Structure formats: structure tokens, C-alpha cells
Structure 1
């Protein structure tokens, strides 16, 4: 392919790349894998006769979705052997962005079949018609409607009932950082719901709880032990931010590695804590 042809392909592809990455990330839960899939879609885009493609965006959506479905098969096998809780790679939102899929919803999507996930995301999140989805996943439109409906039933409970205002959420995140790093268990307890759960993803590469920590008492005991380490070795706040649709913060820990902590908040109390420590999932944040 000549440099001119490559440039011509990039001109039509690059404006669509961010949206295609968003689709792939929500399908796969991995920024790196999403970028790889979209790059493969670009390679295929360069090879087609683009003059015969009437709707480039629809063509590329189909290509990315099919590549994601192929990739999801191997990803599921890998996650069966994953050490400890698995969390999606965290995405830090820019000021102008607003996540359409939050971290708890991403976890709910993990429990769906790949076809259910594709139908739900394409239709309910990205507004793609069932006719196009049918052509993408090689099913009838009626079957795609059923796939999306089943997925909707599964994920309904994972959608927030009460949206927390962004600034209030970041204030809670900042207060949590201060209380957890200084060992102020009274302040920390006041922020937590009775049935709070904590999920920490170290991937076997950094220390982390190998199972969910459930209930206010257990979460407080866990952070009481952590506070001793924080006082000895330090924990630096990099920034507060919306992380995969949830308020939270990025820190640099004593080992020099980054860490993200995100909070699911309901009625002013934290009901879910999601900590990503696996360095492989944080490379894109450096």
C-alpha cells in the first residue's frame, strides 16, 4: 500500500477511532486490548475497497464487534485462572467526558454471554439498530432483541438508583483518602454503608485481598491494618477524578506504582470500593 493510500484510509478512520475504542473497551474491559482490536480494524480498513463501503462507521462497528467476540473467547479462559478479584482496567475521565457505562455495570456485563453483551452495548448504550446488530453477529433481529432484553434484566440492578453529584462524589473520595491514610476509623466508618463491599485487583502481581471484603466491620479492620503501613511507608495522592464513571482517586504507593480507588455511592454512603493495583492494568495512566 502506498503512503497516499494509507493516509487516505487514516483520514476516514481517525475521526471514528475514539468511538470504536469505547465500544471495544466496553466489550473487553481492557484498554490495551481495545486499542489492539481497533488497530486491527484499521489494518482491515486499509485493505478493503472503501469506495464500495456506503457507511464506513457501520462497517467499522461490525468489524470491531466481531473482533471483540473472537477475543472474548480467549479472555474468558484467562480470567478463569486470574488471581483474586478481576476488575476492568480503570479509565480516567476528562472534564468534558461522561461515562455511559460505570464500573459496577462493567462487572455485570462480565456475567453475560459475549452475544448478550454485544447486543446490549450496541443497542442500549450506542444506539445501534437491531437490524445492524443482526448483520454484525449473524442473528435475526428478533433474536437480537431477546439477547438485549435478557442482558437488560441481568444488569438492571447494577445501574445506580441515585446519581451522586460529581463534586460531592469527589469530596467523599478526598475525605476517604485522608481518613484511610491517617487511620481515622471514626471518620471512615461514617462514610461506609453497613453492607459495603471492597474489591481489590492485584492480579497476583501486587499484594491485594484475594477475596471480596464484605461489611463495614471487615472493611474497617482491613483499613486499620493498611493505615499502619501508610504511616510507615506513605501514600501520595496524585489526583481525585471520575474513574470508570465513579468518583475516586489515583495514588502513588510506597512501591512507586500507581493505584486507583473508585467508590460506588448511594444516599451519601459508600457501598462499593474498587481498587486496581495490577500494574498491567495501570500502564496507560503513566
Structure 2
């Protein structure tokens, strides 16, 4: 580097410092017209001056206008990025909530299936088969043939099987709740 280049570089830095000292508060005020947060405005102003430092200032006709335009654009860019950031956070929160809810629903469904199975096991084989076959879509005539009864009896048998199932199902549910309450009470005592 020659002495002439070194002097040009020094005067360039001194020129930038002068621009910075003269216009920094102006740029911050321009940003604060759009974003009323002092610290955010100062951060944006810093970014603008870093950009200005790396730009060939000889190509800029009106430095004040360039800084004002950059301040406005910087503020709007910040607002857009904040909106995207908030939208991304909200979307992630909703996804997490969905996953949490679906896991909870899955767990509840599994508990329900297990309760139904336990109640079905307690039914007589004929009642259990009758309910399962009806659930699978068999009509009364087919059910009568499978369990070897008259077609006219199927409705009555189904109704009684449903009543027994409901009774056993809700009885088991109550027992499970009583066990849960009892274990919670024991846990509180310890």
C-alpha cells in the first residue's frame, strides 16, 4: 500500500466517522417514526451505517436521502421479519398443541378400547359374539343362523346383551375411578 492509498483510506474512515456522527441520531429518529422502540431503532441504524461503510459513497448523490430511505426500508424489513417470526412461533405452538392433543386423544382412545375389551370379556360367550357380530355388520337373519336361535329372538337377545354390556362397562369405569381416587388419596398421605 502506498502513502497516497493510505492517506485516502484514512480520509475515507474520517469521512465515514463524520457522516456517522452527523447523521446517526437522524437515522434513529427516522426508524423510530415507524418503530417506537429505541433499542430496535439503534440496532437498525447500526446495520444501515455498516451497509453505508461497505458502499461506494462516491456513487451516492444525496447521503441524507439515502440514509432516510435506508432507515425506512430497514424499519419495514424489521416489521416484516418480526411478523414472520411471530407467525412461525404461533404455528409451532399450534403444532405442539395438536401433537399434545392427539397424543392425549390417542391415550384416551386406548383406555376406552381397553375398558370395552374388559367389559366384553365379562359377558357370556353368546352375548359377546352377538354384540361383536352385530358391530361387524351382520343382519338379524345372519345372527340368528350363527348363534342358532329364531330370527324373532335376535332383537330381544341383542337388547339384553347391550344392557349387560353397559352395566358391566359402567361398573368397571366406576371401579377404575374409585381405584384412581384411592391411589391419589394414598399419594397425598405419603
Shorter-normalised TM range: 0.3 to 0.5
Higher RCO structure (Cα 8 Å, ≥6 apart): 1
TM-score, scaled to structure 1:
0.26
TM-score, scaled to structure 2:
0.37
From the CA coordinates, give the structure whose radius of gyration is larger: 2
Structure number having the greater helix percentage: 2
Structure number having the greater strand percentage: 1
